[in-house]
Amino acid sequence: MPRGDLANVLEMRHTEKGPAKGSGSTIILDWSIKLSWAQQITRGVANLHAIQAYNGDIKSSNVLIDENGQALLIDFCPIGVTNEFAAPEILAIINDPEFEFEREITAMTDMYSLGLVLHALAEETTNVELPLVWRNKKTPTSYRDAVQQCLAADCRSRPAAVELLHSLGAT
């Protein structure tokens, strides 16, 4: 993948275009590209969930951008999680030897992580901090609302990937 992963792309875009890494002051990617990538990433998650497979470690560095500019989700085996992108219910048990956290990975834990990735994409950042801060004023309210739903404290309130895909305008 000559373009690398999503985290690399976001870092390179800011380095090449001027803003320092992590400054978050300038948005560089066209919204149409961001929305297309958000839909592609969400479609990948929806396809996994359709066969009752769960990623467990959805994060920007697990999204590759191919030579055609398409976003591809990788690393489908839940053998570890990245704390920064993990759902709170996973973080609560990850160090408890009584739990095999891999068995606790569900569609709804994936949806939480996906929401964080979609926020990072919209904001063109590799750093995710809670509560979310929306600096990009061009991000549509419907997109922001969809991301916020993914981060619901009650995992039963999070949307399914297929529902999120429709919220993002995909057909």
Catalytic machinery residues = 57
Beta bridge partners of 71: 65
Is residue 5 classed as helix, strand or coil in its secondary structure? strand
Is residue 45 classed as helix, strand or coil in its secondary structure? helix
Cα(153)–Cα(132) distance, integer angstroms: 14
Decide: 74 and 63 in contact? Cβ < 8 Å. Answer: yes
Number of Cβ within 10 Å of residue 68's Cβ equals 6
Could you tell me where the beta strands, DSSP code E, fall in the chain? 63-65, 71-73
